[in-house]
Amino acid sequence: MPRFVILSKSLADGVREPADHPDLESLRTEVEASGGRVVDQYVLLGEYDVCSVVDVPEVEIAHLLTTVGHSERLLLPAIDFALFKRLLGQAAETVGPHRWQVSLPARAARRALRGHAYTKPVRRWCQPLTVVGRDNLDAVRGPAVFIANHSSHLDAQVLHYAVPNRFRKRLAMAAAADRFFVKGRKGITKKAAWNSLAYNMFPIKRSGGRAALEHGEWLLERGWSVVIFPEGGRSTGGKFARFRVGPALLAIERQVPVVPVYLDGLAAIRPKGSKAMQAGPVTVRIGTPMSFAPDSDPADATHSLYKALTQLRDEVHVPIRVVEPRPAVLAPT
């Protein structure tokens, strides 16, 4: 998740001391509501009153920049110095998509690699794995857009494992171009061609606009279903980041259904920022496919998808009601 430094200057009357600045509390609330976290905060003696170091999804940062009633804010992107030095010497060019990945030889190779790429890690770490709602896909005959919350690097494997085999055979995964399809970056053991072959991934730019969807459209036209994580990155804290409009655009323009899928328990298996993994229970809840008319507004459709995935999350986390047994009433003798 990107890191930012936010400097806050008080605009409210009655704030006489920097330590009284409202952003010491209100900014933390806003960041956490956006799926991010406040790393640290400092009181400043100068032009600005508060310095906040935050990790927050890129798509949410704009909502923290607007001048609020009590504060004027200045945003400064931040990057670890060691990482910055390493990136300076590496290429940032991305490669793909590889259209050969849907060819018969590539599909045959992928079938042979399925156990290594998908089945083995799911069976090892998801103990147990519970899939609910698979029958919701019975009426879907053609390709579809699958969307899911994103909290772990295992999300794609688990979703692939959970859907029926008729989708699994023709399922492509959208993946961040700047992470999985970078050309020549040192330290990446799984190169772009391997991701395309073994996992049937295709690159999508996080802020690529309409052009980022071209390959997804190309796949849907040829009868392939696609998986897109609409948050654009892994979220934390159990809250969804703001959804991007891409899945809704694909569904409207190609007239294919969108299938919401909620993945629960994966964040605990490998917490974000950690390389350690531990097995744990995972639940996959597949929702009812949603279709949109050709003249639908993409923003309204995106909001509907957000509500559908939120409802699935709430269904997974319905608290169990414990009913205390009533004491027996004895008839008078």
pLDDT, one tens digit per residue, over 198-221 is 999 998 886 656 667 899 999 999
State the CB neighbour count (10 A cutoff) for residue 101: 23
114: Cα within 13 Å, side-chain hemisphere: 14
pLDDT interval class at 304 (50, 70, 90): very high
Rounded to whole angstroms, how far apart are CA atoms 135 and 259? 12
What mean pLDDT is predicted for residues 181-195? Answer: 70
pLDDT computed for residue 103 by the predictor:
94
- What percent of the chain shows pLDDT beyond 70? 80
The contacts of residue 178 (CB under 8 Å, 6+ apart) are 92, 94, 205, 206
pLDDT interval class at 87 (50, 70, 90): low
In DSSP terms, 7 is beta-bridged to: 51, 74
Asked whether the whole model's pTM tops 0.75, one would answer no
Q: Residue ranges per domain, the chain?
A: 3-82, 99-316
State the CB neighbour count (10 A cutoff) for residue 1: 19
Task: Express each pLDDT in 136-173 by its tens digit.
Answer: 999 999 999 999 998 888 899 999 999 999 999 999 99
Alpha carbon of 224 to those of 94, 98, 109, 126, 252: distances in Å?
23, 14, 17, 27, 16
Task: Express each pLDDT in 241-300 by its tens digit.
Answer: 888 899 999 999 999 999 999 999 998 897 766 777 899 999 999 999 999 999 999 999
pLDDT computed for residue 30 by the predictor:
83
Task: Express each pLDDT in 24-67 by its tens digit.
Answer: 888 888 888 777 888 999 988 888 888 999 888 765 666 666 55
C-beta separation of 155 from 148 below 8 A: yes
- Topology (CATH level 3) of domain 99-316: Glycerol-3-phosphate (1)-acyltransferase (3.40.1130)
pLDDT computed for residue 147 by the predictor:
96
C-beta separation of 247 from 227 below 8 A: no
CATH architecture assignment, domain 3-82: 2-Layer Sandwich (3.30)
What mean pLDDT is predicted for residues 302-322? Answer: 83
